[in-house]
Amino acid sequence: MQTVDLLFCRACGGRADTLLVHRSELASFSQRLNQVWRYPFTRQGLLVVAGLGAVMAFVGFMTQVTLIVARLAPAAIGAGLFWGAFFSIMRASVRGENEVPIPEYSDILADWFLPALRGLLATSVVWLTLLLYLASAGGWDVFQYLDRLASDPMFYMTGRFHSIPGERLLGDPLAWLLGLAGLAYLPMALMMAVTSNSLLDTLNPLTAVRGMLRLGRDYVVALGTLFALGLVYLAVRVVSASLREIPFELIVSRWLAQVLECLVLFVMARVLGLLMYARGDALGYGAPSDYVTPVVPAEATPRTTLRVDSAPLAAPTPAEAAAPSPEARLQELSAAVQARDVPQALALYTALSFLPKATIPPAVHLFVGQASAAQGDNALAVRALESAADSAPDDPLAPRALVLLARVLGERMQEQTRAQDVYRYIVDRYPDTEASRFAQGRLPPTS
């Protein structure tokens, strides 16, 4: 006697399939923004803000009490800290997480330097555009400015730059147009900094404009929301600037100023992350199947449980009765893997191919995949490595198995298209991992 779960239609009583719709149809981007301001106001969110604010306040303090050369290191650290946290929030939101993630800074290149560089390039569409226009049409002599700065001894002591004649642009309509265009481009540049493998793709105007057109109304909504948050941030900056004027002895005031600014900036990152969560497929981020979801949650799906009587089976033959059961052969397979007995493991794995993937542990799938690849059995290697990732996608072995799978496809079987598809999936599914960083290095710059 066994039970079988069946989905059924309440209207006709017939069997039903799960109805899938796009995320944006189930809940639009505008609807997802209703409570976005609450995002950092959770226990974990406030702890992250408090911790990051403390470190940022200390780093900011160090950039003001040391010589200009010694300030470069803390300034770079501060930029890496902030942009690492900002992009972590965007990626976590794309994955559907609702908590502020705890940023990791274990890898200097991937977690510090690259986020700072991506943030610098993304924001350059605003500040660099206006500086270039000021130099070309505003009469600002850049070389004279740099010469005066280099010959000023106080610059090396205080680190204070000379003022830039930005007031020349206030009455220039074209400068205002460039500034507004840069601000409209900035959200797309930040999203491209997350979705692109190449740094230069962040500044690709054709890709950016195409992405804006595909997002359509949702991008306009995001711009309006970020504009409102920008006004809030300006008000917070007025308060935080006053707090920073308090003498250095009261370092708590600097920490509080940094916390207030981080709260607003975290909400901005959440807005961009939600836009990518709802419409990321329009930007080519992830597979289209990642953006569909059941109309009715699984726990609310109408179903029935049927009791099925198994038909009487014929008596097994003596040979069948003497053969080991699948459970016994599975134990033998695990023992062969532990003993590193490759021929026995491959033979047993092939004999147990009728079992569901999840029945065999991911480590066994991975071992068989590695052994098969080493012996040149590419077909078995691909099957085993795919099974290792499919049977337990959240297991730490899954991204490792996918990297090996992509290498077998690309280097052994010369199927470059399939290999690049696997590498892209690794980058999208397992961001901020060693496997993702390896996959990024194997993808072409324009991927």
For every residue of 191-217, DSSP letters joined together read HHHHH-SSSGGGG-HHHHHHHHHHHTH
CA–CA distance, 104 with 2 (Å, rounded to integer)? 48
Which tokens belong to 194?
């997350």
8: pLDDT confidence band, cut at 50, 70 and 90?
low
Reported confidence tier of residue 331, pLDDT bands at 50, 70, 90: confident
pLDDT value, residue 147:
83
What pLDDT score does 2 carry?
Answer: 40
When pLDDT is averaged across residues 105-117 and rounded to a whole number, the result is 82
Q: For a pLDDT cut of 70, what percent of the chain falls above it?
A: 84
Alpha-carbon distance 177 to 180, whole Å?
A: 5
Parallel, antiparallel or unpaired: strands 292-294 and 2-7: unpaired
Region 92-111: mean pLDDT is 83
Distance between CA atoms of residues 388 and 240, nearest Å = 51
| In contact, 112 and 105? CB cutoff 8 Å | yes
- Cβ(261)–Cβ(7) below 8 Å: no
Q: Which residues pair with 20 in a beta bridge?
A: 294
CB 276 within 8 A of CB 89: no
**Could you give the 3-state DSSP secondary structure of residue 171?**
coil
Q: What is the pLDDT of residue 16?
A: 63
d(CA 59, CA 75): 7
Cβ-based neighbour number of residue 369 at 10 Å: 26
What pLDDT was estimated at residue 318?
59
Residue 97 phi, psi dihedral angles, 5° rounding: -80, 145
pLDDT the model gives residue 139? 79
Band (pLDDT 50/70/90 cuts) for residue 260 is very high
* pLDDT per residue as tens digits for the range 295-318: 655 545 555 444 544 555 555 555
Q: What is the pLDDT of residues 52-93, one digit of tens each?
A: 988 888 887 777 766 666 677 778 888 889 999 999 999 889
Six-digit token string for 277? 């969560």
pTM of the model: 0.65
By DSSP bridging, strand 292-294 and strand 20-22 are antiparallel
Q: Both tokens of residue 27?
A: 């809940």
**254 pLDDT more than 80:** yes
More confident residue, 248 or 399: 399
Tokens of 238: 């007025």
Sign of CA dihedral 191, 193, 194, 200: positive
**Which span out of 182-196, 311-325, 349-363, 407-421 was modeled with the highest average pLDDT?**
182-196
Distance CA 88, CA 84 (A): 6
